[in-house]
Structure 1
Amino acid sequence: MTHGRSGRVLDAAVGSLEEIAEEVARVVFTGGTVILPNDTSYLIGCDPNDSDAIDRVYAAKGRPDNRPLTLHVATPAEFVEYAVNNPLALTAAKRLLPAPLIVLIRKPAFVSDELAAGLQTLAFRVPDDSFARAVLERCGPIAGTTANPPVGPRYDGGEDCSMLPPADLVVRHGPTRYESESSIVDLSGSHGRLLREGAVPERRLAEVLGPIERPTVKVRSAK
């Protein structure tokens, strides 16, 4: 274990998965913030039920409080527990997840408005990375966002953690599985809406979910 700008640093190549998962769980359960490997980028996150820890994640990232965090869960079955009366989400869980995909669904009544930043939707991830899912299996859901800086190079899981935001614990696990960003699909309505095409192509989403809408953005012509 080493120490850096972001607190303690654990190297997954040195410690066992069980030891690392236990330490992540300890930090999360005691109100700390963690940086973990995900499938497309490292994430910074915390206990989704801890308001103070959520505030620290926002502060560490300089993130506007009207941009909600994403809830990372270990299994498709865990995601389905939140997707009440949503056939599209159930199909996604069965045929797409785990995947480098953010799925938006209507926010269940039992989820706090704070976690959803006052919105009626909530974003979910079931990472396509066995290490990340094993950690989530031990510590439970984590509310988080990318730990990458808004501009400049991505963190590649190496020894130089200087570009990362401050956190109580960093887990290094080398480069992420995917170099491209995650896709984002909104399944809160009667059909899917593609908000961002990334590692999961639109054709794959349409193959599983049916017709996918792309929101149109009006652009003023230059005169």
Structure 2
Amino acid sequence: MIVRCNEDGIRAVLKTIKNGGIVVIPTDTVYGIGCDPYNQEAIKTIYKIKGREKTKHLPVLGYSKEEIAKIAFFDELSKKIANKFWPGPVTLVLKVKEKEIANSLNLESKIAVRVPNHPCALSLLKECKLLVGTSANPSGLPPFKDSKDIPDKFSDYGV
């Protein structure tokens, strides 16, 4: 299902996420594939779609630094970097704070996080706050920068 980045489209995407589904969204860098970061079945599906090794952890997108601060610890340097570059294409690797997200993402101590600078991604994140967000391409292949490049095989997973 393809939706527009408007109120109805955001509502449809939120429903998909809340029901454990996988979504493809535009970000400020490439198209990303995402899901609820607390839904282990959805996370397993992303690994399967991408053909990604489970040892390569998935990053989390957040609506704001404040939302990220609920799941990760910021030190002084990471605060300065986030203040200067977020929203934007900078991913920070921080110490994970929240045990529930660490368990669902199978993290030991660190979590990769960022706040994307794309109006559609931010509109969605304003509502859901956090989202697993990794590039929407099979591991080892170049990322998709145009929605026309996203393979039809994603539809086999209800994306």
Asked which structure has the greater CA Rg, the reply is 1
TM-score band w.r.t. shorter chain = 0.7 to 0.9
Out of 144, 147, 168, the position equivalent to 2:133 is 144
CA distance in 2, matches of 1:155, 1:130: 16
- Answering whether residue 150 of structure 2 is matched by residue 157 of structure 1, we say no
Q: Which residue of 2 aligns with 1:75?
A: 64
CA distance in 1, matches of 2:93, 2:62: 13
TM-score, length basis structure 1 = 0.63
CA contact (8 A) 2:72 2:111 kept: no
- Answering whether residue 147 of structure 2 is matched by residue 132 of structure 1, we say no
Higher relative contact order (CA 8 A, sep 6+): 2
Q: Indicate the RMSD between aligned Cα atoms, in angstroms.
A: 2.1
Q: Which residue of 1 aligns with 2:2?
A: 9
Q: Which residue of 1 aligns with 2:94?
A: 105
1:113 match: secondary structure: helix
Seen in structure 2, the aligned counterparts of structure 1 residues 109 and 136 have a Cα distance that, compared at 3 Å, is closer
Letter in 2 for 1:64: E
Seen in structure 2, the aligned counterparts of structure 1 residues 114 and 66 have a Cα distance that, compared at 3 Å, is farther
1:122 match: secondary structure: strand
- Answering whether residue 85 of structure 2 is matched by residue 92 of structure 1, we say no
Higher helix share: 2
Work out the percentage of aligned pairs sharing the same amino acid. 28
Out of 27, 33, 49, the position equivalent to 2:38 is 49
CA distance in 2, matches of 1:93, 1:72: 13
Query: Which stretches in structure 1 are left out of the alignment for 5+ residues?
Result: 1-7, 170-223
- Answering whether residue 110 of structure 2 is matched by residue 121 of structure 1, we say yes
TM-score, length basis structure 2 = 0.86
2:33 match: secondary structure: strand
